[in-house]
Amino acid sequence: MTRKQRRLTLIAAALAVLGVALGLVLFAMRDNIVFFYSPTDLEAKAVTPGTRLRLGGLVAEGSVEKGEGQNVTFAVTDTNRSITVRYTGLLPDLFREGQGVVTEGVLESAGLFRADSVLAKHDENYMPREVADSLKAQGLWQHGGKTDAQDGGATAASE
- Contacting residues toward another protein, per CB under 8 A: 1, 3, 6, 9-10, 13-14, 17-18, 20-21, 24-25, 27-29, 31-36, 54, 66, 68-70, 88-91, 93-94, 104, 122-124, 128-130, 133, 147-159
Report the residue number, 97 or 133, with the smaller CB distance to another protein.
Answer: 133
Distance between start and end Cα atoms, the chain: 57
Q: For residue 39, give the nearest of 52, 53, 57, 64 by alpha carbon.
A: 57
Judging by DSSP bridges, how do beta strands 71-77 and 52-59 pair with one another?
antiparallel
C-beta of 131: minimal distance to another protein in Å?
10
Q: Shortest gap between Cβ of 118 and another protein (angstroms)?
A: 12
Least Å from the CB of residue 77 to another protein: 18
Nearer to another protein, 60 or 118 (CB): 118
User: If 0-12 CB within 10 Å is exposed, 13-18 middle and 19+ buried, where does residue 4 land?
Assistant: exposed
Q: Contact, 135 vs 141, CB < 8 A?
A: yes
Phi, psi values for residue 106, rounded to 5°: -120, 135
143 appears as a binding residue in the annotation: no
Nearer to another protein, 89 or 111 (CB): 89
- Minimal distance in Å, beta carbon 71 to another protein? 10
β-pair partners for 57 = 101
List binding-site positions: 122, 126
